[in-house]
Amino acid sequence: MSDGAFLSLRGLGKTYADRPAVSGLTLDVGRGEVLALLGPSGSGKTTTLRLLAGFETPDTGRIVVAGEDVTSVRPEARRFGMVFQHYALFPHLDVGANVAFGLALRGDALARRVAEVLAMVDLAGYERRAVGELSGGQQQRVALARSLAPEPRVLLLDEPLSNLDPSLRERTRKELRRAITRVGITTVFVTHEQEEAFDLGDRVAVLHAGRLEQVGTPDELYDAPATPFVARFVGRANAIAGERAGGAPGSVALVRPEALRFAADASAPLAGTVTERRFVGDRAYFVVEEADGTSFEVLAPHGAAAVGHAVRAVVERVLFWENGAR
Ligand code: ADP
Ligand code: MG
């Protein structure tokens, strides 16, 4: 996608006190694409967003937007909108004044623009409401409206849902997706939650210790993880010794719980006792302990076995890396 890239990160690096926070990060984001940056805490997600926004200067690399190198351009002049984890709304100003804050418009033109962006985030008519009266999800959308108001070229969101109650998070996520789709803006969305990244990202970039492990669609990451780290981070996976899967020492083999199947056949290679069953919808995760004390997890119809049962299982699909310990 490098020819069609609207936003391009080229070998970005940033080191704090001898510890690289981001290294050699190269990524392209298409016009109107939503890219989710996914990684555990400390993997360099916020640093990447701050580099994009211009709040930090990279030690190496370049940032290009619509063909323009903005690496040394000051934050305001980049025309990037940013929504922080803490929405940083002004509690003493009403919704309209919060949204109007960064706009150079006056009078009717200002009121029109504020009304327009509030409608984009499904808050039409909320101008005179006090920020403190709104739910967390609504406040999050006010912050989104404020960042969209000056018509940014790129929208940057840093864990925008992490402050919400779990019960609100899924609904707010849907509302956020609807607003971003409606605006059609090129977006980089940071999260440490796989489900959020897969739900919101057209593509997902997985960061680990400041480096890009893989970028791809959710399906690509799940079905063909480039590294064992990605396999584990975007889903559940059982470790089986690489040698057991036919590899040389140092190889790594992982099996997703749904790639294991209970089998009555005495020749099924895995055998053990069910020690745990956890329901998920109509299926359940079964933890099976083998004679040597190791255990593995099988996803199967919830009635497939019960705790205490002796079971056997066959492996239907292995994720395999010849040299997984990198
Ligand atoms: P994430 O957002 O993925 O949790 P960050 O980008 O915040 O990760 O941090 C990446 C690494 O850089 C961490 O080890 C963090 O401690 C370090 N770091 C981030 N910002 C600074 C800073 N201003 N000064 C020193 N170290 C920092
Ligand atoms: Mg962060």
- Alpha carbon nearest to ligand 1 atom 22, residue: 16
Residue 103 has pLDDT above 80, yes or no: yes
Please tell me the predicted confidence (pLDDT) of residue 145. 95
Question: Of the bound ligands, which one is closest to the alpha carbon of residue 208?
Answer: 1
Mean predicted confidence (pLDDT) in 215-228 = 96
Domain that holds residue 269: 236-321
Give the dihedral sign, CA 141/144/148/153: negative
Q: Are residues 169 and 59 in the same domain?
A: yes
55 lines ligand 1 (CB under 6 A): no
Q: Quick check: CB of 158 below 6 Å from ligand 1? A: no
Same domain, 166 and 273: no
**Per residue in 9-26, pLDDT tens?**
999 999 999 999 999 999
CA distances from 103 to 92, 96, 161, 307 (A): 18, 11, 25, 62
Same domain for 66 and 112: yes
Q: How confident is the model at residue 242 (pLDDT cuts 50, 70, 90)?
A: low
Is the pLDDT at 326 greater than 80? The verdict is no
The per-residue pLDDT for 323 is 78
In the chain, the number of structural domains is 2
Q: For ligand 1, atom 16, which residue shows the shortest CA distance? A: 42
pTM above 0.85, yes or no: yes
We report the CATH number of the domain holding residue 246 as 2.40.50.140
**Domain end call among 200, 227, 254:** 227
In this predicted structure, the answer to whether residue 275 has a pLDDT above a threshold of 80 is yes
Q: Of the candidates 176, 204, 227, which is a domain's last residue?
A: 227
Condensed to tens digits (0 to 9), the pLDDT of residues 120-135 reads: 999 999 999 999 999 8
Q: Which residues of 209-229 are buried (b: 16+ CB within 10 A; e: fewer)?
A: bbbbbbbbebeebbeebbbbb
Averaged pLDDT of the chain:
92
Are 207 and 43 spatial neighbours (Cβ–Cβ below 8 Å)? yes
- Ligand 1 centroid to Cα of residue 19, in Å, is 9
Of the given ranges (26-35, 141-150, 198-207, 240-249), which has the lowest mean pLDDT? Answer: 240-249
Side-chain-facing half-sphere of 39: CA atoms under 13 Å: 24
Residues 44 and 164 in one domain: yes
User: Which helix (DSSP H) or strand (DSSP E) does residue 249 occupy?
Assistant: none
CATH code (residue 148)? 3.40.50.300
